Amino acid sequence: MIIVMNKTATEQQIDSVVEKIKHLGHGVNISRGTNRIVIGAIGDESKLTPEMFDPMPGVEYSMHIVKQYKIVSRESHAENSIVHVRNIPIGGEKIQIIAGPCSVETQEQMDLAAQQVAAAGCRLMRGGAFKPRTNPYTFQGKGVDGLTIFRTAADKYDLPIVTELMDIRMLDTFLEQDVDLIQIGTRNMQNFDLLKEVGRINKPVILKRGLSATINEWLMAAEYIAAGGNHQIIFCERGIRTFETAYRNVLDVTCIPVLKRETHLPVIIDPSHAGGKAWMVPALSRAAIAAGADGLLVEMHPNPCDAWCDADQALNPQELTELMQSLKGIANAIGRSL
């Protein structure tokens, strides 16, 4: 940690900061520049916080110089990590497309969706049994029955299932149903109790970015999971909230190279929730793959006009097949495969 003293700091104020650092068990290095004096605290930064020094007389500000997220950082693990969902790798050379409806509706709907997802060449299937909705009067998902329907449909085509966990109390049910990849949604990115619980299990986790979360906050949320012992984490960008109203959310493609620099963990993109319209999904998907994303989380419904949830952003089966074909060329161009 470094503590920057302001221009008017006295020697007594500097000595007070130095003594506090030593009292906390750290070494001290003082750099005297033309306009500022910078005091470096040498030792374990995790034991120090800016709040310890910022209120002290003569201190302009203090800051950590080592990243607070340790386990998920690129510094702790230089090579790219691959998260396996059953025998399917996410990360590495092969790009994975996870497709399926926003919500589980009926057995017939999910059976048909599973068939179409597999036919398009996707290796994993998404579907929501528990739905976090802005409007409390809209469809909230079929709950446990939805998990059973989903599993029955996906197993016919040997598709691992991806679904959202909203409540700690449902974790045992998810484990009993053997959900292959647990999704923590955008509204729960900083539900720290939930993050701690999924950190204690041996299941891969998708961590979606919060509506207005910074990348640092997102990385720290992942650290909560990793600190519990579960390092099988996949970051998912799904668009952030800005002033723009022309589309649902702003897809932050820039986060892909930034995350690739900061963390060794895989990064995927949800173009459906970003654009909010089916016609935007192919363009956003292609941009994400070109920028280095390890996969996509795409909404596809057998008949989008009849969808109970997010009908406007769901691709139909033909559109999913066409998207998969177009992505193969981009993947090949950057030395990867679909």
Measured distance between the N- and C-terminal CA atoms of the chain, rounded to whole angstroms: 44
Q: CA 186, CA 217: separation in Å to the nearest integer?
A: 12
Q: Where in the chain is the domain with CATH 3.30.70.1140?
A: 2-63
pLDDT class of 1 with cuts at 50, 70, 90 = confident
Percent of the chain having pLDDT more than 70? Answer: 99
Q: Where in the chain is the domain with CATH 3.20.20.70?
A: 83-333
pLDDT value for 140: 66
Q: Does pLDDT of 96 surpass 80? A: yes
Q: CA 164, CA 208: separation in Å to the nearest integer?
A: 10
Q: Does pLDDT of 290 surpass 80? A: yes
pLDDT value for 95: 98
Q: CA 186, CA 150: separation in Å to the nearest integer?
A: 22
pLDDT class of 43 with cuts at 50, 70, 90 = confident
pLDDT class of 89 with cuts at 50, 70, 90 = very high
For residues 159-164, average pLDDT: 97
Q: Does pLDDT of 222 surpass 80? A: yes
Phi-psi region of 178 (alpha: psi -120 to 50; beta: other; left: phi over 0): left
pLDDT value for 137: 65
Q: CA 38, CA 40: separation in Å to the nearest integer?
A: 6
For residues 222-229, average pLDDT: 93
Q: CA 322, CA 318: separation in Å to the nearest integer?
A: 6
Task: Say which range, 16-20, 132-136, 157-161, 273-277, has the weakest mean pLDDT.
Answer: 132-136
71, containing H or E segment:
none
Classify 83-333 by CATH class.
Answer: alpha beta
262, containing H or E segment:
helix 255-262
Work out the mean pLDDT of the chain and round it to a whole number: 93
CATH topology of domain 2-63: Alpha-Beta Plaits (3.30.70)
Q: Does pLDDT of 272 surpass 90? A: yes
Q: CA 294, CA 94: separation in Å to the nearest integer?
A: 8
Q: Does pLDDT of 309 surpass 80? A: yes
Q: CA 188, CA 97: separation in Å to the nearest integer?
A: 23
pLDDT value for 139: 67
Q: Does pLDDT of 73 surpass 70? A: yes
pLDDT class of 77 with cuts at 50, 70, 90 = confident
The pLDDT tens digits for 127-150 are 999 877 777 767 667 889 999 999
pLDDT value for 64: 81
pLDDT class of 209 with cuts at 50, 70, 90 = very high
Q: Does pLDDT of 110 surpass 80? A: yes
